[in-house]
Amino acid sequence: MTTLRAQTETKIRQLEARSLRGLWAMALFLLVSSAVYYGLERLFPLSPEIRSFLGPAPPLNLISLALVIYSFSAIVLILSRMTMGHPPGSGFAHVGYLTGFYIFFHLARASVENLWAVLAAGATILVLSAYHQRTFCAEAISEERETLARLELRERFGGEKREGGPE
């Protein structure tokens, strides 16, 4: 019984830590967004040689369209996982994709102008993802605590002998 109790307690601690991943992803995204806001060009300047090596940047309207399509797809994916009861995905993957949009806008020399669009899309996606992560882990923690309560009852009442009953 004690090994099952220890495994259950370990799983609860892991789920509690996992429930914070969405908040960490949001913090990382805000850090990246702050870098863009305070001057990505100053932090990561691109020389004319590097720009000519990379070639021309995609048109702004295509980058914006890709951002809209990605945002819609990510929201639908998160909502479908929530509805079907599937485990949440990693919020850090969304941070990577959103950072990619910042990079594309930076290459097109329009990162500051499009900061708010990426920030709004990212905040929406990451808040929804963090909510899914948090609620999924809360349900799993509740189930594990019920398991602990059943184990405690078994240990309390299963370990004592009843008087007058068969042994």
Do 127 and 57 touch, CB atoms closer than 8 A?
Answer: no
Note the pLDDT tens digit of each residue in 71-116: 999 999 999 999 998 999 888 999 999 999 998 998 888 888 899 9
For residue 52 the two structure tokens come to 């000519």
Domain range summary for the chain, segments of one domain joined by +: 2-157
* Distance (Å, whole) CA 117 – CA 74: 15
Phi, psi of 161 (to 5 degrees): -85, 140
57, 63, 66, 72: CA torsion to nearest 10 = 150
Note the pLDDT tens digit of each residue in 23-73: 999 999 999 999 888 876 676 677 788 878 888 888 999 999 999 999 999
Size of the chain in residues: 167
pLDDT, residue 151, reads 85
Distance from the first to the final alpha carbon of the chain: 21
Is the pTM for the entire model greater than 0.85?
no
